[in-house]
Structure formats: C-alpha cells, structure tokens
Structure 1
Amino acid sequence: MRRHEPIDDLIAIVARLRDPETGCPWDQEQTFRSILPFTLEEAYEVAEAIENEDMKELREELGDLLLQVVYHARIAQEQGSFDFTDVVQAISEKMIRRHPHVFGDASLEDEEAVRENWEREKAAERERKRQRPIGSVLEGVAQALPALVRAEKLQKRAAVVGFDWDAMDEVFAKVIEELEECRETLRTHAEPTERVHEVGDLLFSCVNLARHMGVDAEQALRAANHRFERRFGRVEVCLRAGGLVPGRSVRDEMERLWNLIKAEER
C-alpha cells in the first residue's frame, strides 16, 4: 500500500472544492482559461521571491504554483483527459529521457554538449507528438511567452542547426548596426511602423548579445526594473527631504541625486 503523502491532501482539497454538489461555488465555475491568469501570476511571484532571495516567501509561492498544477490536473481529470498522476509520470519519463548521460549510457563531455542533446531530444519529442516531420526548427515555441524569453528560445533553436554568430565581436557589431538603424529612422522621419520594426530588431539583437554573454535577458531586464524602482524611490525621498517634489523644474537635481545614489550602490 502506498504511503499517504502531503500531496494527497492537496489533491483531495482541490477535488472537494470542485465537487459539483458540496464544493465552493467559485471553484466549481473555473475552467482552464479562467484560472490561466492566476497560473501566470504565480509563476512570476515565484520569480520575484527568488530574485529577493526570500526563502520564506519562495516556499509559499511554490505552494501557490503547485496548487495551480493540481487545479489544472483536476479539471482535466473531470473531463476524462488525464489526472495528476499522469502529469507526474509524464515529466518523470521526460527528464529521464532528456538526461541519457545520467540515467543511461550516453557520454556528454560538457555543459554545451548537454544543452545540444537537450534541444535535439526536444525536437524529436515534438516530431513524435505531431507524427510528421517538423516543418521548422522554430516550430512549437509558445506564442504566449514573454517577448524576451521567446526571442531567446527562437535564437537557441536556430543556433542548434548552426544559424548563429561565431564571435562576440560580430554580436556587438550587430547591436551597433541595429542601434544606428534606429537613429536613422529619426533622421529620416520614418513612418511609425518602420520605427517599431527597427526598435524590435535592436531589442532582438540585445537578447542575442545577452545569450552569448551567458545572461538571461528576461531576468536581466527584471533586475534592471527593480534597480530603477529602488533608485528612483530614493531620489523621491531625497527630494522631499529638501522640500521638493519630482517634476521638470527639478530635473537637474533629480539627475544629480540619481548619479549620487548610483555611485553609492556601486
């Protein structure tokens, strides 16, 4: 007999909430689509707890995210599609399959070889799912991903088949080229659509630079957002201490305080 585990309690709680006769009216009405925003929100709250290095908060947010998995699995079970056990079994099999150097006899020499094998196995999985040859190596990168994350995944897919820069200098040169093309749209008073395209190309090239530098572009931008919020918040505090409020009339003072705060942090 299988030992009772805490996850069993969570599965039972969600089943009770969803019970059509004795459950919660709100939970009874939920669908995959209606709880999707909560699933995305919980994933980002996990990311925030990690960035803040808050272990107590991380424990709680991981629980909230796990609830979303159990909830989706429960809805699927009610529809006769799959249940939580199927979810666990599928991911366990996938992890074993994608790590033949750990669970099998394969020999992968370094991290790069592991990544390449991972992408090849994912491509094979996608082909098996479709039961037909994949039309493009870029096929299957979810449209709903944040734009920076999706850009990186698209670039990695292309890199697996050799479509990538060979040297960092080439990557830097591409960023500079795209920056100059953005500047040119201002010089020539280009149409708004062209400006959008050129800024998009610049951002895409910056993601490429981050990837070649071993930096996660999404995390880097999130960290930059946090730094901006923190520093600007300190600027506001300093201004108010001097009897001032943020505004164009004190722009020079805001710039001075910003540079001072930035220097102090460094």
Structure 2
Amino acid sequence: MTDDHPALRALIDTMATLRGEGGCPWDAEQTHESLVPYLLEEVFELVEAIETGNRADLREELGDVLYQLLFHADIAASEPGRPFDIDDVAAGVDHKMRHRHPHVFAGGDASSVEDVIARWEEIKTEEKKHRSSVLEGIPERLSALARASSTLKRSAGVVDFSSSHETPVFSSEAELGDYLLALVHTARHAGLDPETALRGATRRLEEAVNHAEAAGSGLAPGDTGA
C-alpha cells in the first residue's frame, strides 16, 4: 500500500499491533464468528447515522465499520490454509467493480442509468452462472422485510408475483412506512407476529420459485439432479 492514505495504513498497523504478540488478549482471541454481533451493531449504527443526517456520527460510524472490516481481514491473514489480507480483499472488489463497469474501464457503452443497471445485472448473472437457483446467496439472517425484498427482486423473472396480488399504490416512502406500521399494529392486535408471518409468506414464494425452476430444468420439485 502506498502512503496516499497514511491514516489508513496507521489503522492497519494498529490492528496488527493489537492482535500481535504482546498486544491485547481480547483482540487476539477474536474470531470471525465472535465478531458477528459487533459487525451487525456497527452497521445498524451507521444506517442510523445516515438516516438522521448527523455528519459527525456518520464519520464515526464509518470508522467503526471500517475497523470491523480490518479486524476480519487481519484474522483471515493469520488463518492456516488459504490466508488473505486486506490488500487481497481490496484487490478482489476492485477487480469486480472494474469488470462490472465496462462502460468506464473497457470501452463499453452505457448512455443512461437504465443501461448501466441492465449491463450490471447481465454481468452479475454471468459471474454467478454456477448457482443452481436465482435465490442462492440470499443470507438466511436477513430481517424478514429485507429477505422478502431480495427474494422478490431475484424471482421477478421466474414467477409473476404481482399478477396474483393486488397492492396499494404509494407516492412516497413516508406513505409506505405509515402503511407498514399500520399492518404491524393490526397484526399485533390480532395476536399475530408480523416477522413470522412475512417469513412464512417469503418461504412460500421461495417454494414457488423452486418449483418453477425445477419445471424449467426438467427436474421434479425438490430433485437436485445429483
């Protein structure tokens, strides 16, 4: 790494010192798994800083998330087998971003934002062609709402969800938020858990996608073809 970002280099060195010989026992014993709660907490605090518009908090929370990333990279660098460090992480995502922006780095053409998004999805699909389902890769630990959103986005080309579900039209996020809050209120008074209900509905959508994919590939539902 060059000296273009001396503070970043200093932070990397600080992490190495904390986890190195004679450093901090707590830092030294951490694992990827043990740090998950801290990473989640820092990400949510960053989201809150973004949503509240507090610049001082935004700067601080970006730093906390960066520290978590460096923490995980330092752990990975010391693991046996196939270690990698923060430079490897940066190189990987740099390559991915350059590959997904051919209109900037490879003489490609994109005259609008829509063109950029369409090309991005084409390239991403090609990169992930080894996946057996459009739903593969959606994290299990997402909140019910985030998982539902990702599942709907991924399944758009497989099943037509909108044709069988009438939905209101919203003109703003505030209006949508009020509607969602009202739904949660209604569920609560009916003795129902909205988180569980949405997870169940999403699972049913996932099953429909799996059936459609199996039918399209000539496999019976649930058959992996192995």
Residue deviations 1:14-60, cap 9 Å, x none? 111101x3011111111101111101111111000011100011001
Identify the match of residue 117 of structure 2 among 115, 118, 131. Answer: 115
Contact 1:77 1:83 in 2 (8 A): yes
2:215 aligns to what?
A: none
Going from structure 1 to structure 2, the CA distance change for 1:198 and 1:162 (only over 3 Å counts) comes to closer
Query: Quick one: distance in 1 between partners of 2:149 and 2:35?
Result: 27
Query: Quick one: distance in 2 between partners of 1:198 and 1:76?
Result: 36
Query: Quick one: distance in 2 between partners of 1:14 and 1:32?
Result: 15
1:130 aligns to what?
A: none
Deviation of 1:149 (Å):
1.5
Residue deviations 1:107-151, cap 9 Å, x none? 234333332332332232223xxxxx4211111111122221221
What percentage of residue pairs aligned between the two structures are identical?
A: 41
* Alignment map for 1:200-211 (pairs within 5 Å): 200-201=200-201
1:101 aligns to what?
A: 103
Deviation of 1:164 (Å):
5.3
Deviation of 1:156 (Å):
1.2
Contact 1:46 1:58 in 2 (8 A): yes
For residue 29 of structure 1, what is the amino acid of its counterpart?
E
Deviation of 1:161 (Å):
5.4
2:19 aligns to what?
A: 18
Structure label with greater radius of gyration:
1
Going from structure 1 to structure 2, the CA distance change for 1:35 and 1:25 (only over 3 Å counts) comes to same
Query: Quick one: distance in 1 between partners of 2:121 and 2:3?
Result: 37
Query: Quick one: distance in 2 between partners of 1:68 and 1:199?
Result: 29
Contact 1:43 1:65 in 2 (8 A): yes
1:8 aligns to what?
A: 9
Contact 1:108 1:114 in 2 (8 A): yes
Going from structure 1 to structure 2, the CA distance change for 1:201 and 1:109 (only over 3 Å counts) comes to farther
2:131 aligns to what?
A: 134
TM-score, normalising length: structure 2:
0.68
Identify the match of residue 150 of structure 1 among 135, 147, 150. Answer: 147
Aligned residues: 181
Stretches of structure 1 lacking an aligned partner (at least 5 in a row): 128-132, 174-178, 187-191, 206-266
For residue 70 of structure 1, what is the amino acid of its counterpart?
L
Deviation of 1:83 (Å):
0.1
SS of 2:156 mapped into structure 1 = helix
2:44 aligns to what?
A: 44
Query: Quick one: distance in 2 between partners of 1:120 and 1:161?
Result: 16
Residue deviations 1:85-119, cap 9 Å, x none? 00111111111111122222332343333323323
Deviation of 1:163 (Å):
4.0
For the aligned residue pairs, the C-alpha RMSD in angstroms reads 3.3
Contact 1:123 1:137 in 2 (8 A): no
Stretches of structure 2 lacking an aligned partner (at least 5 in a row): 170-182, 206-226
For residue 10 of structure 1, what is the amino acid of its counterpart?
L
Which of 1 and 2 has higher RCO (CA within 8 Å, sep 6+)? 2
SS of 2:134 mapped into structure 1 = coil
For residue 168 of structure 2, what is the amino acid of its counterpart?
F
TM-score, normalising length: structure 1:
0.59
SS of 1:6 mapped into structure 2 = helix
